[in-house]
Structure 1
Amino acid sequence: MPESLSPAAPLSWDQLQALALPEPDRVRGLTNAQAQLRLFCCNESEVRVTLYRDHHAWCPYCQKVWLWLEEQQIPYRIRKVTMNCYGDKEAWYRQRVPSGMLPALELDGRLITESDEILAALEAAFGPLERPLEDPEVRALRQLERRLFRAWCQWLCYSGEASPASEPAERHFDKIADLVDGALAIHPGPWFLERFSSVDLIFTPYLERMGASLSYYKGYGLRQRHPAIDRWFSALEQRPTYLGTQSDFHTHAHDLPPQMGCCLASGSEAQRACARQIDQGPWLPVEAGSAPGPDAHNLTAEPGAVAVLETRQLEPPGAALEALARVLKHRQTLLAVNPHAGAGLDQGLACALTRLVTGEACPPPAGSAAGLRYLRDRISVPRDMSLHGARRLRQALESTAQLDPAVGTPSRIPIPTSHRRDQDPRGFALA
């Protein structure tokens, strides 16, 4: 930050643009949610695969196929499709897939739906990832994943506050999660088999969503309760393929209710504290020197509450500048869709981005806090940016909103639970 510039004044848009990271190589670089073509070391003429996945990277079955392609470095094209919960399904996709279901994959001109059928076809065409899907040990672990999924759904969606079913549902989930923990302990490394395999890909989408949703709606620490699952997540967080598809707790806590019908909160003190921290922060950077124990690298831990353990990965360099670049790319659309855009929000956003990149407090225009919080609540990971970039941006937006001179407790438009039409991708898809 130039010494001549007052800490209370926001950087200009030109100054902010000069600080932003350049657009990375989406085609041949690291796994990312923004790519429309992935070539790795191949030529475009070698592409045999087109993956149809959802715009926001919310679909767990899409994530499974996406990860397989990235791990195997199979060149592929990506076409993004709207999920019913946040918009209208594209007519061209309905013509291709009348059911509208996701994912779908085109391999050598043949269209395939159902994620397991897609993985089987990819395995037949390109070879297995470590072991075949029909290997007896792999099949047994796939069945265990389905048992865990059913136990999670029963607890999350059918056992709410004061329900007599809550405690039995929690015990049953804990029992199946212990079996998963035991399966991970069979081999000496962190993975389900001797090496990373399709089994790990199959468990990834829902274990990720379980960790987020059970923290938010039940006050339950999946990683804290199950050390082998914690080690598995920590190992995943060292793989660039996973990091490019990884979501965060806030995104999943609010994208799951319309997909699953409902997510029922337990209403306990621990649950309310976890939900409050996921929604309101603080979102502290994950830095070197944190203790490696079960409470390390959490969002925060209120007295008596379960720590919200979102990641153990240390924040990589450039997380704030990544967030800056992504906001600048979509600035005009972000302002256009924000219902509070008329309340000095453009300057308020400049103040928040100044806080993001300089660390300096920058009071926004009076009345802009609601618009900043609306944006804070609608950051989606990995659609918009990485987990660490999102943490930095959410913290900058909230810290700036708290400086709004006109509001003691600024109003906030709640995040919908029966739909997510507030996340309609139209407008952003063309940017």
Structure 2
Amino acid sequence: MNGILSWDDLNKFEVEDLDRVHGINNSYANLRLFGHSENDVLVTLYRDRHSWCPYCQKIWLWLEFKKIPYRVQKINMFCYGQKEGWFLEKVRSGKLPAIEFKGKVITESDNIIAFLENEFGALGSFITSSHLIKIRNLEREIFRSWCNWLCRESFNFIDNSFRKKRFKESISKLDEILSSSKSGFVDPSVSNTGNVEPGVGDIIFIPYMERMNASLIYYKGFNLRSNYRHVDNWLTLFEGTSAYRGTQGDFHTHSHDLPPQMGGCYKESNEQQITFSKLIDTGEGLGNYELNQNYDSKYYATIALKRVIKHKENLLKVNPYNKESFDESLRSALSHMITGEVLIPKKLSGISLRYLKNRVSVPRDMPIISARLLRQSLNKIESLSNINEIDNIPFRHRYDQDPRNFISS
């Protein structure tokens, strides 16, 4: 190859366009039909624009697995942007998620599911079923023990050990329940095609389990999947469904979107924590601990390329570092991702590549594997710079992810 690929050259790499409306689940869709006509749509889902909200993910998954046609309106979270005024007129608190059904607005995720069940039937069990009371209480117990370990600063070894022990006791109860499940799910449902899929008892767990898997390995060096094999199998079963993968965030995204949402996350400095967090921050990722599925690297690299090209102008505009050399540096990274060749720009801006690497968000921008391949190539070219500048990701807020520059693109 003669040199770093031009934008015209990069644009020649083709990938089949995703059918956002009728195809597999995806974060870009504003309408999902599942074979219905648009006239059949009765539900509008109001969810967060960056796909960070776990309670939004719960409703999103319920609608996808149940295959209820719905519209999507994307709303800012307070931690990264200003709440839309028209939404505050509908929901004065601004809380997400919300749904609108025939002019009626419902909030609070469990209330939303109960309402949808009344209109469209259950997914597995009804959320208010008596046999799910124990499961729902366990979900809250696990959530509390996770928060106590992750989000409260420990002042000594004994205090931290106690918090860790309480979490392990709680998560062991879920692992035990899953160990006796023939399907591998907590509350299996059967789809119209006869496939066994997660039911509502599973869907109430998965958003925060996904975030526990990411945050504990990053901040504590604690590998959830390697310690609890039935939980690992349950996560793998979810990852085998396109409905779930369309909503799934990656370790990098959750490690850095959780602190402003949770009021802080505290690191436990140990050898594994240092190793795991470095692999996540550099973009290398953690392989099957993050997504336990086979994949076609070339296909996902091309998706990443197309997503960058789509937003190229805005990416160049909002990057605060070395704008005059960012264009060539970015093309160098994209050329490496597509061809495998390392070509050093004449003026390399490592810090501008790091800024972008730190702000790729999954699933908002692209699927997990696409983001991993993009970050790896950004990191490869960035590492060639002999200027070691620091780009800090905000901890108390994420206004650096304000979507205003991208909404219309």
Q: Normalization by structure 1: what TM-score?
A: 0.90
Match of 2:323 in 1: 342
Which amino acid counterpart does residue 312 of structure 1 have in structure 2? N
CA distance in 1, matches of 2:133, 2:346: 58
Match of 1:253 in 2: 255
Contact residue 343 and residue 368 of structure 1 kept, 8 A: no
Looking at secondary structure, tell me which structure has more helix per residue. Answer: 2
Q: Is the 8 A contact 1:219 1:270 kept in 2?
A: yes
Q: Residue 394 of structure 2 aligns with which residue?
A: 416
Are residues 161 and 429 of structure 1, via their aligned partners in 2, closer, same or farther at CA, if it must alter by over 3 Å?
farther
Residue 177 to residue 403, structure 1, CA distance change in 2 (3 Å): same
Equivalence for 1:368: 349
C-alpha spacing 1:194/1:99, structure 2 compared with 1 (3 Å): closer
**Aligned pairs, how many?**
400
Whole-Å Cα distance in 1 between the matches of residues 108 and 242 of structure 2? 26
1:61 to 50, 55, 66: 55
**Runs of 4+ residues deviating >6 angstroms:** none
Give the aligned partner of residue 269 of structure 2.
Answer: 267
Q: Report whether the alignment pairs 1:400 with 2:381.
A: yes
SS of residue paired to 1:277: helix
Matched with 2:75 is 81
Structure 2: how far apart are the matches of 1:358 and 1:161? 49
SS across alignment from 1:426:
helix
Structure 1 residue aligned with 2:309: 328
State the distance in 1 between where 2:157 and 2:260 align.
Answer: 21
Pick the aligned partner of 1:179 from 162, 173, 177: 173
Whether the 8 Å CA contact 2:283–2:357 is kept in 1: the answer is no
Displacement, 1:137? 2.1
Could you list the runs of 5+ residues in structure 2 that have no partner in the other structure? Answer: 190-197
Q: Does residue 38 in structure 1 map to residue 16 in structure 2?
A: no
**SS in structure 2 of the partner of residue 106 of structure 1:** strand
SS in 2 for 1:335: helix
Rounded to whole Å, the distance in 1 between the matches of 2:188 and 2:325 is 56
- State the Cα distance separating 1:310 from its structure 2 match: 1.4
**Corresponding position of 1:105:** 99
Superimposed CA distance per residue, residues 103-155 of structure 1 (whole angstroms, 9 cap, x where no aligned partner) = 01001211000000000001100000011112222222111111100000010
CA–CA distance in 2 between the matches of 1:13 and 1:165? 54
* 1:194 positional shift: 4.4
Give identity over the alignment, percent.
44
Conservation of the 8 A alpha-carbon contact between 1:187 and 1:194 = no
- Superposed CA deviations along residues 383-430 of structure 1, whole A, max 9, x for unmatched, are 0000000000000111111223xx25x212110000000000112111
TM-score, normalization by structure 2: 0.95
Q: Which residue of 2 aligns with 1:313?
A: 293
- Deviation for aligned residue 1:185: 1.4
Letter in 1 for 2:396: S
Contact 2:220/2:267 (8 A) holds in 1: yes
Letter of the 1:256 partner, please give it: L
From 164, 186, 196, the equivalent of 1:192 is: 186
- Residue aligning to 2:366: 385
- Provide closer, same or farther for how the CA distance between residues 107 and 83 of structure 1 changes in structure 2, counting only shifts above 3 A: same
Specify the SS of the correspondent of 1:78. strand
SS of the residue 1:262 aligns to:
coil
For the aligned residues, what is the CA RMSD?
1.4
Counterparts of 1:336 and 1:248, CA distance in 2: 26
Match of 2:193 in 1: none
| Contact preservation (8 Å) 1:364, 1:401 | no
Q: Would the aligned equivalents of 1:343 and 1:367 in 2 still touch at CA under 8 Å?
A: no
Matched, 1:23 2:25: no
* 1:378 aligned partner, one-letter code: R
1:171-250 superposed matches below 5 A: 171-195=165-189, 196-250=198-252
d(CA) in 2 for partners of 1:29, 1:57: 19
